[in-house]
Amino acid sequence: MAEEEDQRRARRYQKDLPDDRTNFAKAWKLLEEYGHIPPEDIDAHVIAVAYSIFHYGCLGGWRFLDLYLTTAPEYPDIIARLKAGDKLLDLGCCFGHILRQIAFDGAPSTNLTGADLRPEFVQLGYELFQDKETFGAQFVTGDILNPTDTGLAVLDSKFDIVHTASFFHLFGWDDQVKIGQRVVKFFKPSARALILGRQSGRYEPLSLEAYRQQGGGRYQHNIATLQNLWDAIGRETGTKWKVTGQLLESTAPRDSDHSLAPETPVDGRPRVTLRFAVFKLD
């Protein structure tokens, strides 16, 4: 059993960067031009920082280096809104790499905030980008599901946009509803609220009845079930939401999938990633 687990970890946590770095071009540009890291030093620098703590799949599989948000159809409008004074929260920000990309693309860093459970990630982000004295974003740590942890309370009613990637899929349906209720509190009362990100998905998720009969666990969505989730969140918060997005086949191996759940794909189909945007309706 221990040997099997060691083999699984070896597949999931790849010490060396992959040869194919097609999806990493923007990250390398960010590290070189924003972080001022010499190009010949980037490989060693990234490995030293990202592998120094918390062997999460999004780190060991190097998927955090895919700055996918820049390709989202909402991205140009997000940058424009931030330049005009709107504020963005990156929930589950890890190193804050998405925030650095947003700032690099012209948004004022003072309009950006990152939140994560692990305070170590904040320090590692400063090390990764060498910008502790210059990056103006705020970072806050706290446990979003712990009602006695008040660390995130300072963020309430402060934001117009929430980005959250590889986060909701770590939890079951009921906890996702609780997290959604908490996310709603982060928005300004008058915000043109937008939530967007990506996470593990399924072509054909279980019905809630079947999910509960099987004992619960992590719940993965398609667009329809994600709409159902936000309908449930809306009923609890007195709000209404519209979900848009798409399912994309993942190119990641099963055991190196940016913290995606480890179960076998439904009906033998390829693993899929759900990109989503959730808009608040007036």
Domains identified in the chain and CATH numbers: 68-281 (3.40.50.150)
Using alpha carbons, list the distances in angstroms from residue 84 to 98, 232, 258, 281.
Answer: 19, 32, 33, 21
Structure tokens at 58: 């999004």
* Overall pTM > 0.95: no
Q: What is the pLDDT of residues 33-77, one digit of tens each?
A: 999 999 999 888 988 887 656 555 555 556 678 899 999 999 999
Let me know: does 173 contact 219? Beta carbons within 8 Å.
Answer: yes
- Write the CA distances from 114 to 100, 155, 189, integer angstroms: 10, 10, 20
pLDDT tens for each residue of 155-201: 999 999 999 999 999 999 999 999 999 999 999 999 999 999 999 99
Task: Judge residue 193's burial from the number of C-beta atoms within 10 Å of its C-beta, 0-12 exposed, 13-18 middle, 19 or more buried.
Answer: buried
